Amino acid sequence: MSPTNVSHAVDRAIARAVAGQPQYAPCVDESLGAALSAEMLASDQVVRRGIATGRQTYKLHEDRFGAHMWLFSLTWSVVAPSVVAMVLTEEIPDLDLSSGLVFQRDEGEGYWFGFRPGQRAESYVASGRHAGESFAPIIATLCRVAKVRPAPLWAVVADGMVQPAVGAGNEHFEQDRAIAVASEIHQGLQQVADVRLPPLRFEQVCDDQVVPVRPGDVEPDYLVVHRSSCCMVFHGDDAGYCAPCPHVPKKKRIAGIIAAASQY
């Protein structure tokens, strides 16, 4: 297949992802703002502005909380549509941010960015590895500017890649495929991360209980991967914990998961 045809195939996969999960449409709409190089996302200018805007928007009092919040937002915004496309189609959009189009979603604000992939990766593992190579310099700048440790930031990126796969799997009855995609992009990310990522634990809601997914099980009705990271929004003046936040007491978090599964 020619490079042009590959690009068109990836575009069709992204269109399918957005049709299935419309909330991600702004993440791939390059008309919303100016393009910039992937390298610029790791610049002091972009990172400091993202932290400052996150602090102001969510009423956070420390740069380290703004750093987590911005990275959480950035990861979901630039990664999620491509991951959803992997679950819903046979295409594997390449998450090497330098291979596609990075753009601002909020012209002038500098908090929200989007990414339109431009090529196909050879495997889910490769796409995850390329994502890690793209995020590594961003994490390095965040650590230096906000004086935070890298491990929690890598966990934010890992969750931001895995959770969209799980959500798409549940929404479109592709739970087994979501497990495969999430497992392999996580494996690729770990090949680059200079810390040990929290392992994935796939669970399912069955008879109003959350139980492990075991090899040979029938396809889960509702798939769960517990988050290992925190966006730190609860440090804001007007915010509480997100429902799946690891800081939420386990009993309450499990009850929320079971309630969410009952809506499917």
The confidence score (pLDDT) of residue 1 equals: 58
Q: Which of 133, 104, 125, 128 is nearest to 116 (CA)?
A: 104
pTM of the model: 0.94
**pLDDT tens per residue across span 101-152:** 999 998 778 899 999 999 999 999 999 999 999 999 999 999 999 999 999 9
- Other C-beta atoms within 10 Å of 199: how many? 8
The confidence score (pLDDT) of residue 108 equals: 72
46-79 burial, b at 16+ Cβ within 10 Å, e below that, comes to: bbbebbebbbebbebeebbbbbbbbbbbbbbbbb
Provide the residue ranges of all domains of the chain, joining segments of one domain with +.
Answer: 1-196
**Token pair in block for residue 206:** 């069955």
In this structure, which amino acid lies at residue 255?
A
Report the alpha-carbon distance of residue 121 to residue 110 in Å, rounded.
28
Contact 70, 139 (CB under 8 A): no
Q: What average pLDDT does the segment 158-179 reach?
A: 97
pLDDT top residue among 260 and 12: 12
Report the alpha-carbon distance of residue 96 to residue 248 in Å, rounded.
33
**pLDDT tens per residue across span 18-65:** 999 999 999 999 998 999 999 999 999 999 999 999 999 999 999 999
The confidence score (pLDDT) of residue 7 equals: 83
The confidence score (pLDDT) of residue 183 equals: 97
Q: Which of 94, 91, 97, 78 is nearest to 29 (CA)?
A: 78
Asked whether the predicted pLDDT for residue 2 surpasses 60, the reply is no
**pLDDT tens per residue across span 230-242:** 888 888 888 788 8
Contact 16, 89 (CB under 8 A): yes
The confidence score (pLDDT) of residue 247 equals: 86
Report the alpha-carbon distance of residue 140 to residue 153 in Å, rounded.
10
Maximum separation of any 2 CA atoms in the chain, in Å: 53
The confidence score (pLDDT) of residue 109 equals: 81
Asked whether the predicted pLDDT for residue 4 surpasses 70, the reply is no
* DSSP-derived secondary structure for 111-176: S-EEEE--SB-SSHHHHHHHHHHHHHHHHHHHHHHH---HHHHHHHHHHHHHHHHHHHHHHTT-HH
Asked whether the predicted pLDDT for residue 14 surpasses 60, the reply is yes
Average pLDDT in the chain: 94
In this structure, which amino acid lies at residue 23?
Q
Q: Which of 72, 78, 224 is nearest to 157 (CA)?
A: 72
